[in-house]
Amino acid sequence: SVTGPQFEPTHERALTPAVGPARDVDGFVRQFLRELNYTQGVPLSRSTLNDQYLALARTVRHYLMQGWIRTGKRRRDAGDKVIGYLSAEYLLGRQLDNALLAAGLEDIAREAMKECGLDVDLLRSQEIEPGLGNGGLGRLAACFVDSLATMDVSCIGYGIRYEYGIFKQTFEDGRQVEVPDSWLALGSPWEFPQPDRAVQIDFGGHTERYTGDDGRERTRWVPAWDVQAVPYHLLVPGYRNGVVNTLRLWSAKATNAFDLQLFNQGDYAEAVRAQTFAENITKVLYPEDSTPQGRELRLQQQYFFVAASIKDFIRHTLPADFDLHRLPERIAFQLNDTHPVIAIPELMRILVDEHDFEWDEAWDVTKQCFDYTCHTLLPEALEVWPVDLLGRLLPRHLEIVYRLNEDFLARVREQFDGDEVRARRMSMVQENPVRAIRMAHLATVAATKVNGVAELHSQLLRDKVLPDFSEMWPDKFTNVTNGVTPRRFVRIANPGMSELVTEAIGEGWLTDLERLRELEPFADDAAFRERFRAVKAGNKERLRQLLHHRDGIDLPEGHLLDVMVKRLHEYKRQSLKLLHVVSLYQRLLSDEVDPESTTPRTVVFGAKAAPGYFMAKETIALINAVAATIDADERVAGRLAIAFPANYNVTLAETLIPAADLSEQISLAGKEASGTGNMKFALNGALTIGTDDGANVEIRQLVGDDNFFLFGMTEPRVAELQAKGYVPGDVYASSPRLKSAIDFLASGEATGGDPSRAAAVVDDLLSSDRFMALADFDAYVEAQEKVEATYADTEAWTRSAILNVARSGFFSSDRSMRDYLDRIWNVSARS
């Protein structure tokens, strides 16, 4: 076997990590040319841009390797407790910029490329981002691993190496068309495949009882088929601290035994089919971000990556013969939503069936190893797995869940006087409409800690989503408000502002973001405000250039830039924003106002819709139709524009967010768990117009009411209206401005004369309006009028923008990680 025992270093050489290339321009150039010549196999004179990008990326990787080797050795020697972050998604964004920044190599690389006659910025723009996530949840995971490396906390991020990440969005006649994202096609210089560390993952079959040698009744799982999980590791460099942690992503391959057997029987075609079947498991990321479809392949993906991760951790990270009774001393698995929750019965199975633990003993260990983060409030987003599917794919795990549930419900009945109704509500097994396992209940029962992702969300989680559980275990529940990494979303995305900030308050803020507070006095400094505006103007210009080349979109100059970027979902209410745009359009066409007196505004949308989400796709088509109509209408030229660049992703966000004046965070109160885009905008000096929802609440508390445009119903008000019976038609009838906007849209006047374009969205708003866009419309328009009035006072606006930056340091993911360490993992950071 190739996976023998760990190599025992005896030779002197084996004890010293590889020496990286010299940290100077010359060393960099040499390594770059070596990569180009010997790895890419081309001379510089004949190399393509892609060759050059790959050679540059590999060169930077060389500089990080020593840190990775040292970090690994130090952690193994110390026997550190590891944070095993289990996440089905990591929305990483481009790697090169971040690696250059972390390694402190930006200037050297720029100079070195110049010496080779190349432009480092052009090469950076060649990188296709690994889009291994849908949205906020996946991006959060990427921010968290960045922060843990920067804080020198031992963390392994476990996930899936999807061959195709989130689809590439294109528009045809304004409608979304999905194109496969073949991010690996041109080579992926950041990953290290480790085929010799592959582990076998079993599926299907049945279970058997037998009597063990010790006379005990035991169970074994007799699986029907298996696949290999091949790890690829990626480097997660800390910011200029020499620390490099690991992201371990799993890829499925057919096991040799599997296809060989078929091949020997002479059925070659069948053998190849088997291979395709196995490799399908990690073929594609499911693009549904809030309505899990209960698809078998998705469950395969989930079990595949957590089973591989646990096996790998026990086999390769723990010392040989480690006593698994002490597992909680060495690992805290963080469950990023319910996607990895099947890890709970998997660990039970390993302990009980493979390591002879008593059931209660195994449960005691398992409970201490898991913590669970919930990211939603929408009931349809809570994952359930039908028992027939689970039983077919993972028969032993289903048995284990049943037994856990029996024990758990016995406790419930005991504690609550045989309250059967409560027991049914709390059960891990739902009976209707089909018998299915409620993964959030399983996670909540097993986890030591359960957290929501913003104060309001954690409160609603306790009070509305899992109230029985929080009554039973009040101390289990906690909050950790999300955060974003300032390295990527401030320093890399906004170099101009970063420089200005450093000039004002000195170095150090990038790893201690609360220090941005020191900017507060500069809000009253006219010269500083002037420079702050110049940075914003430069960022807008950079965006104009990008959209011109990327999308053929020519943004007007000198407009208020009003940005709404996030997944397309009814609860996020892009339709409310659209109604506002229509209303602005009408205002410009009416004689009531002098167009010259209005604030020129460009509204930028960016949003992907789940491919099967009808209303979301209709909304995209409608926005594009309205955009085209307004664009073609000379009467409003220079006053109002809509831009909807296709394929919003991390890379686009990095240019778009720093250019924004106004951040749209307008979900119906009580629906957005947290939001993280909201934080990125505030940190880049955009003002927020937002509802009292998710982390908006905390943003407003910190930046102050004067620097935030609050509108709309509060969550209790929403609940009250819901209970009373919400009738959108009544709102429509009672608000002249709303009625006028909807009528205008329905008439086809905003969609090039074609009323059919607006029909689906308008009908839905008038008949059900599940997320009460109409109810908040008047308040929203009024808040937008306040935005215009404030924007007219340039100095006041800039002052607010600076205060937004100065007071948003709390939203660093470093702070989130510190909260997890204190409230959940009981581990301390080294820095």
Longest dimension (CA), the chain: 92
Tokens of residue 754, six digits: 């074609």
Q: How many residues are listed for the chain in this entry?
A: 831
Q: Which range binds ligand T68 by CB under 6 A, 22-30, 397-405, 625-633, 667-675?
A: 667-675
Which of residues 152 and 654 has its CB atom nearest to ligand T68 in the complex? 654
Cα distances (angstroms) measured from residue 124 to each of 118, 548, 651 = 11, 18, 11
Cβ proximity to ligand T68: between 113 and 824 the closer is: 824
Give the nearest distance from C-beta 404 to ligand T68 in angstroms.
24
Is residue 124 annotated as a catalytic residue, yes or no? no
Residues between 104 and 133 that touch ligand T68 (CB under 6 A): none
Contact residue for ligand T68 among 60, 673, 745, 758 (CB under 6 A): 673
- Closest distance of CB 448 from ligand T68, Å: 20
Considering 676, 691, 790, 798, which one is annotated as catalytic?
676
x/- string (CB under 6 A) for ligand T68, residues 682-701? ------------x-------
Determine whether 786 is an active site residue: no
Q: How far apart are CA 281 and CA 76, in angstroms?
A: 32
Q: Which residue is nearest to ligand T68 (CB)?
A: 136
Instruction: Determine, following the binding rule CB under 6 A, whether residue 136 of this chain makes contact with ligand T68.
Output: yes
Catalytic member of 488, 566, 580, 757: 566
Of 137-145, 425-433, 623-631, 637-645, which part binds ligand T68 (CB under 6 A)? Answer: 137-145
Return the axis-axis angle of helices 96-103 and 106-115, rounded to nearest 10°.
110
Q: How far is the CB of 675 from ligand T68 (least distance, A)?
A: 5
Q: Applying CB under 6 A, which of residues 135, 391, 486, 670 lies at the interface with ligand T68?
A: 135
Strand partners, 200: 228
Q: Which residues contact 541 (CB under 8 A, 6 or more apart)?
A: none
Measured in whole angstroms, the distance separating CA 247 from the mean position of its chain's CA atoms is 15
Listed ranges 244-252, 287-295, 419-427, 555-563: which one lies at the site for ligand T68 (CB under 6 A): 287-295
In whole angstroms, the minimum distance from the beta carbon of 613 to ligand T68 comes to 13
Span interacting with ligand T68, options 230-238, 286-294, 360-368, 609-617, rule CB under 6 A: 286-294
Q: Which is nearer to ligand T68, 126 or 674 (CB)?
A: 674
Q: How many residues sit close enough to ligand T68 to count as binding (CB under 6 A)?
A: 19
- Asked if 567 is an active-site residue, the reply is yes
The one segment of 16-24, 168-176, 345-353, 672-680 that binds ligand T68 by CB under 6 A:
672-680
> What are the helix and strand counts (H, E) for the chain?
34, 25
Distance CA 88, CA 287 (A): 12
Considering beta carbons, is residue 301 or 784 the nearer one to ligand T68?
301
What are the helix (H) ranges across 241-394?
256-264, 268-279, 296-312, 327-330, 343-349, 359-369, 387-393
Please identify, using beta-carbon distances, which residue of 236 and 381 lies nearer to ligand T68: 381
Q: Smaller CB distance to ligand T68: residue 88 or 350?
A: 88
Can you say whether the dihedral through the CA atoms of 703, 704, 707, 710 is positive or negative? positive
- Please select the residue that binds ligand T68; options are 674, 691, 751, 790, rule is CB under 6 A: 674
* Residue 600 to residue 38: CA distance in whole angstroms: 55
| Catalytic annotation, pick one of 233, 298, 375, 488 | 375
Q: Quick one: which segment of 113-121, 272-280, 284-292, 593-601 binds ligand T68 (CB under 6 A)?
A: 284-292
Q: Which is nearer to ligand T68, 458 or 651 (CB)?
A: 458
Residues 444-483 close enough to bind ligand T68 by CB under 6 A = 453, 482
28: its two tokens: 């960099």
What contacts 24+ positions apart, CB below 8 Å, involve 609-613? 609/176, 609/567, 609/568, 610/287, 610/288, 610/289, 610/290, 610/291, 610/567, 611/167, 611/176, 611/178, 611/287, 612/288, 612/293, 613/288, 613/291, 613/568, 613/569
**Which residue bears the tokens 């308008």?**
762
Indicate whether 98 belongs to the interface with ligand T68 (CB under 6 A): no
| Beta carbon of residue 482, minimum distance to ligand T68 (angstroms, whole number) | 5
Among 51, 570, 664, 672, the residue binding ligand T68 under the rule CB under 6 A is 672
Question: Closest separation between CB of residue 285 and ligand T68, Å?
Answer: 9
Residue tagged active-site, from 298, 540, 569, 572: 572
Q: Is the Cβ of residue 290 or residue 800 nearer to ligand T68 in the bound state?
A: 290
Least distance in angstroms from the C-beta of 137 to ligand T68? 3
Per-position x/- string for 290-309, each x denoting binding to ligand T68 as judged by CB under 6 A, each - no binding = x-x-----------------
Q: How many other CB atoms are there within 10 angstroms of residue 27's CB atom? A: 17
Nearest approach in angstroms of CB 821 to ligand T68 is: 18
Of the candidate spans 288-296, 518-526, 753-761, 769-777, the one that interacts with ligand T68 by CB under 6 A turns out to be 288-296
Q: How far is the CB of 396 from ligand T68 (least distance, A)?
A: 25
Q: Is 375 in the site for ligand T68 (CB under 6 A)?
A: yes
Which residue in 248, 491, 567, 580 is the catalytic one?
A: 567
Nearer to ligand T68, 375 or 639 (CB): 375
Q: Which residues contact 127 (CB under 8 A, 6 or more apart)?
A: 53, 57, 94, 95, 96
Give the range of 289-297, 384-392, 415-423, 697-705 binding ligand T68 by CB under 6 A.
289-297
By the 10 Å C-beta count (0-12 exposed, 13-18 middle, 19+ buried), 761 is classed as: buried
β-pair type (370-373, 331-336): parallel
Decide whether 137 or 630 has the Cβ nearer to ligand T68.
137
Question: Comparing C-alpha atoms, which of 293, 300, 301, 351 is closest to residue 326?
Answer: 351
Nearest distance, CB of residue 286 and ligand T68, angstroms = 7
Whether the CA torsion 731, 735, 738, 742 is positive or negative: it is: positive
Cα(330)–Cα(232) distance, integer angstroms: 22
Kindly state the smallest distance separating residue 237's Cβ from ligand T68, in Å: 23
- Residue with smaller CB distance to ligand T68, 130 or 138: 138
Residue with tokens 């393509």: 48
Closer to ligand T68 by Cβ: residue 98 or 676: 676
For residues 212 and 806, what is the distance between their CA atoms, to the nearest angstrom? 65
Question: In this structure, are residues 281 and 297 in contact, taking their beta carbons and an 8 Å threshold?
Answer: yes
Nearer to ligand T68 among residue 482 and residue 647 (C-beta): 482
Q: Which residue has the tokens 């768990």?
A: 673
572 is catalytic: yes
Q: Which stretch binds ligand T68 (CB under 6 A): 136-144, 484-492, 499-507, 711-719?
A: 136-144
Site for ligand T68 in 478-507 (CB under 6 A): 482
CB count, 10 Å around CB of 438?
21
The angle at the Cα of 110, spanning 104 to 111, to the nearest 5 degrees, equals 105
Contact 701, 807 (CB under 8 A): no
- Say which of 531, 680, 700, 799 is annotated catalytic: 680
593 close to 546: Cβ distance less than 8 angstroms: no
Tell which one of 675, 685, 712, 728 touches ligand T68 (CB under 6 A): 675
What is the spatial distance between Cα 184 and Cα 365, in angstroms, rounded to a whole number?
A: 39
Alpha helices in 151-219 (DSSP H): none
Q: From the CB of 785, what's the least distance to ligand T68, in Å?
A: 28
Q: How far is the CB of 453 from ligand T68 (least distance, A)?
A: 4
**C-alpha dist (Å) from residue 312 to 200, 460, 515, 593:** 10, 36, 40, 67
Instruction: Give the whole-angstrom CA distance, residue 251 versus residue 163.
Output: 8
Q: Which residues bind ligand T68 (CB under 6 A)?
A: 134-138, 140, 289-290, 292, 375, 381, 453, 482, 672-676, 694
Which residues are identified as catalytic?
375, 566-567, 572, 676, 680
